[in-house]
């Protein structure tokens, strides 16, 4: 029973897919190991240790989904948001980014499982619309590639019930995925996406909102978890961006290109007036389609430790 640790990374990704929250996934893995240790005398070896841990983790996550979610709250600054902000369409204020530095573990047995299309934010948001058991079945069957028999054993269902749940889950998932997203065909961040990020940073540093919005689709969507609203369209995006381009408003910005959830990302650092360094402010995660920004998810985050990013940037 000392071999739990070798499964930490894949269990954390599994719980994250089920919950959409990195912090909650960490908690569920810790609780899984605790319960497994306490119940170690009941493990008879009728399944593999890995399967047993997945059963515990999945049941914990299903129970967690059924409870009121823990939601972070922040002080709103009304002046910084346009009146065109819309009520939340996918109200997932607990949604958190997953550090790619924890996905890029080629030496781990689960590394081949963490494909971009199964960890990107669009997938995570879409799968949250499924009831928890359907969600788990779809992850086991279509993401992890487990058989109906293996899935049934983990979830205490019949193989027929597993297949039925999967048939109900697939069309719901497809309905909530972005309309232009190729089914199960996403690829790692491309050189073109990285070039787009560089143009975005150049336009930001030049203080040019028109150049920034020219990199976006006409119906670009901007979300800012945990705020319960979203913006749509270039003009609204321009209005949202303009205030932040003025150093007198919040301060000066710097960006470092990175990636989270296998998506191109900019780590935003802010130097507030009177400060001597640029401090972590958030992660801007981009969904890019055909060379333009289709969606931007801006996470407010002041600790970049888990993402292996500098704790601050020195002023030039």
Per-residue model confidence as pLDDT tens digits over 146-201: 999 999 999 999 999 999 999 999 999 999 888 765 533 445 557 889 999 999 99
Length of the chain: 316
As a whole number, mean pLDDT of residues 81-106 equals 68
41 or 128, which is more confident?
Answer: 128
pLDDT of residue 153: 93
Residue 106 has pLDDT above 60, yes or no: no
Selection from 50, 179, 190 nearest residue 113 by Cα: 50
How far, in whole angstroms, is CA 189 from its chain's centroid?
A: 15
């Amino acid at each position: 029973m000392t071999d739990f640790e070798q499964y930490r990374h894949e269990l954390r990704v599994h719980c994250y897919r089920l919950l959409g929250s990195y912090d909650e996934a960490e908690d569920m893995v810790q609780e899984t190991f605790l319960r497994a240790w306490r119940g170690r005398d009941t493990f008879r070896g009728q399944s593999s240790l890995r399967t047993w841990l997945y059963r515990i983790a999945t049941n914990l996550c299903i129970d967690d989904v059924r409870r009121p979610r823990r939601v972070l709250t922040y002080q709103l600054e009304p002046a910084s948001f346009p009146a065109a902000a819309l009520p939340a369409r996918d109200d997932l204020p607990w949604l958190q980014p997953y550090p790619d530095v924890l996905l890029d573990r080629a030496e781990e047995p689960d590394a081949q499982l963490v494909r971009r299309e199964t960890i990107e934010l669009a997938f995570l948001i879409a799968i949250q619309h499924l009831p928890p058991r359907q969600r788990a079945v779809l992850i086991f069957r279509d993401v992890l590639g487990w058989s109906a028999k293996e899935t049934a054993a983990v979830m205490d269902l019949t193989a027929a019930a597993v297949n039925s749940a999967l048939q109900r889950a697939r069309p719901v998932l497809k309905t909530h995925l972005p309309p232009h997203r190729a089914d199960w065909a996403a690829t790692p961040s491309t050189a073109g996406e990285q070039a787009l990020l560089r143009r975005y940073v150049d336009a930001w540093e030049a203080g040019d909102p028109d150049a920034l919005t020219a990199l976006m689709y006409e119906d670009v969507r901007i979300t800012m978890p945990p705020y319960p609203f979203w913006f749509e369209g270039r003009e609204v995006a321009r209005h949202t961006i303009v205030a932040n381009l003025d150093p007198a408003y919040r301060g000066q910005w710097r960006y470092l290109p990175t990636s989270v959830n296998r998506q191109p990302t900019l780590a935003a650092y802010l130097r507030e007036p009177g400060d001597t360094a640029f401090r972590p402010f958030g992660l801007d995660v981009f969904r890019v389609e055909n060379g333009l920004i289709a969606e931007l998810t801006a996470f407010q985050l002041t600790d970049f430790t888990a993402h292996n990013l500098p704790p601050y940037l020195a002023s030039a």
